[in-house]
Chain A
């Protein structure tokens, strides 16, 4: 699509682009060098400020946090996806008493910050006698709020499957449930796989709310370390890099799945954007 918007640049345009590119890159590099120099002048590059992150105990601690992050993310993603499929099917149901509550759930939960749900599970539920273990105090609100997001992704996926598919299945004598399960859902799931992965990346980032319920995930572990060694900037740079590597790998996985599983997009395939982080 994008290549349809402009001519393949000719020799002169190509030369201009190349010159502008070189100039731009040089300016960027100069700015970067200036920033690094200033950073070093403020002592932030001093070896002793980075040395702790060349030692195993610090990394062991951070990786422990990363493990907790992954655990919370995986469990809440599994729950949220199951809930999301149920809600999506509910919203597309022909029965009004199923359709209405599903739609209400999705629309209501989408407008409530996950942080508020965390607070509710933390403060309100115990007063009604429901006191969850700490791990679930993070996982339940994340699952509840992400279920709404996953529901929207699945719904978009189901709606993107051509009506003819469902009709053909019915014509073959499958029941409505069978045609959903055997024909429509498999195609829908394949199409929304990339959105599901990117939503899961968002969920992984959301686990940083764990610091509210005192769940020592990656970000909170970073905070404990910063308090221990007083190296605020260095610690957060390291934490940021860990997040970046993990999430970028997941995104790469999403692209890989997009290409290999979805088969590069057949006719009538529509791209579906992520719904929410």
Chain B
């Protein structure tokens, strides 16, 4: 156990990085998801096609492959950013595809009358999306989006492979020094589980608050 406590500062630093990455990339993913879903249900055929291809490609590639390609491939086409920045952007784009899919299923779950009513009131496409459809869609997808948040937290650990020292990488380094895998990895795992548990708690509360009696 001492292996864990002797290195608490490094592990804490790693946890902070993990939390920062989680928050920033989740915010990014929500924005990406909203844009993509708006494109997917919108009137412009090309945008619909682009959004479909986007979701299809990003959902079908392992995140690790995307991370390595972005970190080492993008500088070769003249786009270079810091490691953490690149990782955050890639995770946001990747999870954005999942959020878009979750939102789309939420939009699909809304009864058609809502869209017709919004149109009948003279709202434009953007207005009916913003004021009528998305707020209701969000309500039905709180749980799936909470799950995406949890998955995103776990996925930030893959950034370790491209040089970001987050919690998993920090744990790895400590283990390299101490060769005490069980306390170190279980400790790190508990930290992830705690983040996920918080997310689960928040989504549970949100869902109950937003629930509409049907």
Residues on A close to B: CB < 8 A?
1-2, 4-7, 9, 17, 20-21, 24-25, 34-36, 38-39, 42, 44, 107, 110-116, 119-120, 123-124, 127, 198, 201, 205, 208, 219, 232-233, 236-237, 239-240, 243-244, 247-248, 251, 270-277
B109 near A271 with CB under 8 A, answer yes
Which B residues lie within 8 Å of A243 (CB)?
60-62, 65
B69 near A273 with CB under 8 A, answer no
Q: Which of A107, A116, A208, A277 contacts B200 (CB 8 A)?
A: A107
Which A residues lie within 8 Å of B110 (CB)?
1
Which A residues lie within 8 Å of B200 (CB)?
107, 110-111
A-B contact pairs, 19 of them (CB 8 A): A1-B112, A2-B41, A4-B112, A4-B119, A5-B115, A20-B44, A36-B77, A38-B77, A110-B200, A111-B192, A111-B200, A112-B196, A113-B154, A124-B182, A205-B62, A233-B69, A244-B57, A248-B60, A271-B109
Closest to B105 in A: A273
Closest to A118 in B: B185
* Number of A-B residue pairs with CB-CB distance less than 8 Å in the complex they form: 158
A116-B192, A271-B108 given; A233·B60 CB < 8 A: no
B65 near A240 with CB under 8 A, answer yes
A208 and B161 CA atoms in complex are apart in Å by 13
A119 near B76 with CB under 8 A, answer no
Closest to A156 in B: B143
Closest to B204 in A: A107
Query: In the complex, how many angstroms separate the beta carbon of B71 from the nearest chain A beta carbon?
Result: 10
Q: Which of B105, B147, B192, B197 contacts A272 (CB 8 A)?
A: B105
Interface size on B, residues (CB 8 A): 62
B105 near A236 with CB under 8 A, answer no
Q: Which of B65, B102, B116, B133 contacts A236 (CB 8 A)?
A: B65
Q: Count chain B CB atoms within 10 A of each CB in A4, A34, A205 and give the residue with the most.
A: A4
B185 near A119 with CB under 8 A, answer yes
A239 and B181 CA atoms in complex are apart in Å by 31
Which A residues lie within 8 Å of B116 (CB)?
4
Give chain B's interface secondary structure class. helix
Closest to A14 in B: B43
Which B residues lie within 8 Å of A113 (CB)?
154, 157, 189, 192
Q: Which 9 A-B pairs have the closest CB atoms?
A: A111-B196, A247-B60, A116-B189, A4-B115, A2-B41, A113-B154, A35-B77, A273-B105, A38-B78
A169 and B115 CA atoms in complex are apart in Å by 36
Q: Mark B145-179, 1 if CB is under 8 A from A, else 0.
A: 00110110010010000000000100000000000
B6 at the interface (CB under 8 A from A): no
B69 near A112 with CB under 8 A, answer no
Closest to B198 in A: A111
- Which B residues, 15 to 70, have Cβ-Cβ distances below 8 Å to chain A? 40-46, 56-57, 59-66, 68-69
Q: Which of A115, A239, A244, A275 contacts B60 (CB 8 A)?
A: A244
- Which B residues, 91 to 142, have Cβ-Cβ distances below 8 Å to chain A? 98, 101-102, 105-110, 112, 115-116, 118-119, 125, 128-129, 133, 141
Query: In the complex, how many angstroms separate the beta carbon of A251 from the nearest chain B beta carbon?
Result: 6
Closest to B193 in A: A111
Query: In the complex, how many angstroms separate the beta carbon of A214 from the nearest chain B beta carbon?
Result: 15
Q: Count chain B CB atoms within 10 A of each CB in A112, A198, A233, A273 and give the residue with the most.
A: A273
Closest to A248 in B: B60
A273 near B46 with CB under 8 A, answer no
Q: Which of A114, A201, A271, A276 contacts B147 (CB 8 A)?
A: A276
A119 and B186 CA atoms in complex are apart in Å by 8
A42 near B76 with CB under 8 A, answer yes
A6 and B189 CA atoms in complex are apart in Å by 48
B197 near A275 with CB under 8 A, answer no
Q: Which of B65, B73, B118, B185 contacts A116 (CB 8 A)?
A: B185
Q: Which of A35, A107, A271 contacts B105 (CB 8 A)?
A: A271
Which B residues lie within 8 Å of A276 (CB)?
147-148, 150-151
